[in-house]
Amino acid sequence: MTTFEDFQKLDIRVGKIIEVQDFPEARNPAYKLEIDFGDEIGIKQSSAQLCGNYAKEDLKEKLVLAVVNFPPKQIGPVRSEVLTLGVPGRNNECVLIIPERVVDRGSRLY
């Protein structure tokens, strides 16, 4: 069983998507994202399978939640530095977890 202390080890932060690019090399349709987490963490790269629910222009400037303290993962030619968080929607495509109000980049989930 996971403990509250285990949960506290995860560093989940709010970031703003500042760049979205197609990722044609991905096995499943995905985007390459650049996400700005503010001064403390900076800009990080991620890849996410969001094509089913989001157009590129809908993602830019969107606030998202991501785990920022996992080790980087190489996904084809992309080094994914954070895990952008989402849940499966009705069509089993990723729906992003986003703050319902404007918050500062880098804010930590607690």
Per-residue pLDDT at 57 exceeds 90: yes
**85 domain-assigned:** yes
Q: Quote the tokens at residue 90.
A: 């009705």
Please compute the mean of the pLDDT values over residues 22-48 and round it to a whole number.
96
**71 domain-assigned:** yes
DSSP-derived letter for residue 29 is S
Q: Can you give the residue range of the structural domain that contains 16?
A: 10-96
Instruction: List pLDDT tens digits, range 7-31.
Output: 999 999 999 999 999 999 998 999 9
**50 domain-assigned:** yes
CATH number at residue 67: 2.40.50.140
Instruction: List pLDDT tens digits, range 78-103.
Output: 999 999 999 999 889 999 999 999 99
What is the rounded CA–CA span in Å between residue 21 and residue 19? Answer: 7
Mean pLDDT of the chain: 96
- Per DSSP, the residues of 49-98 read --TTT--HHHHTT-EEEEE-SSPPEEETTEEE-SEE-EEE-TTS-EEE--
pLDDT at 91: 87
**106 domain-assigned:** no
What is the rounded CA–CA span in Å between residue 72 and residue 66? Answer: 13
User: What confidence tier does 66 reach under pLDDT thresholds 50, 70, 90?
Assistant: very high
DSSP H helix total and E strand total for the chain:
2, 9
Residue 27's identity, in one-letter code, is R
How many domains in the chain? 1
